[in-house]
Amino acid sequence: MKKLMILSAAAMAIFFAMPQFAEASTTQNNITVTQQKAVKYTEITAATLPEAVNATLSKDFVGYSVDKIFQGDDGTFKIAVRKEAVKSILLFTSKGELIK
């Protein structure tokens, strides 16, 4: 009887210790943080906008009117457009590619 009690106590100890071993596994998360340089924009006129950006605007954004145009010191262009009551900000590369 004494052996049965010791055996059941050992089984219970192992049973209760197993979840703790499973939770004790370590995981490693690799997090990469990149800091982007703050882009400074200056307002420009539509005449100084590159032809590639003008072509993309006239092709892909028919019916939109351009409110303001800004050029960033990184060479990107931020264009505020409007279609009826909906206003949007478009971001282009100097090659006329829409970034967002």
What does the pLDDT look like over 7-26, one tens digit per residue? Answer: 677 666 666 666 655 555 56
* pTM (global) more than 0.75: no
Burial readout 53-70 (b: 16 or more C-beta within 10 A, e: otherwise): beebbeeebeebeeeebb
8 is a domain residue: no
Burial readout 36-47 (b: 16 or more C-beta within 10 A, e: otherwise): eeeeeeeeeeee
Domain count, the chain: 1
13 is a domain residue: no
Q: Which amino acid is at 73?
A: D
pLDDT in tens, 26-50: 667 777 777 667 889 888 888 888 8
Domain extent, residue 77, equals 41-92
- Angle at CA of residue 49, ends 51 and 37, nearest 5°: 115
48 is a domain residue: yes
22 is a domain residue: no
19 is a domain residue: no
54 is a domain residue: yes
Element containing residue 58 per DSSP (H, E)? helix 51-60
Q: Give the distance from CA 21 to its chain's centroid.
A: 37
71 is a domain residue: yes
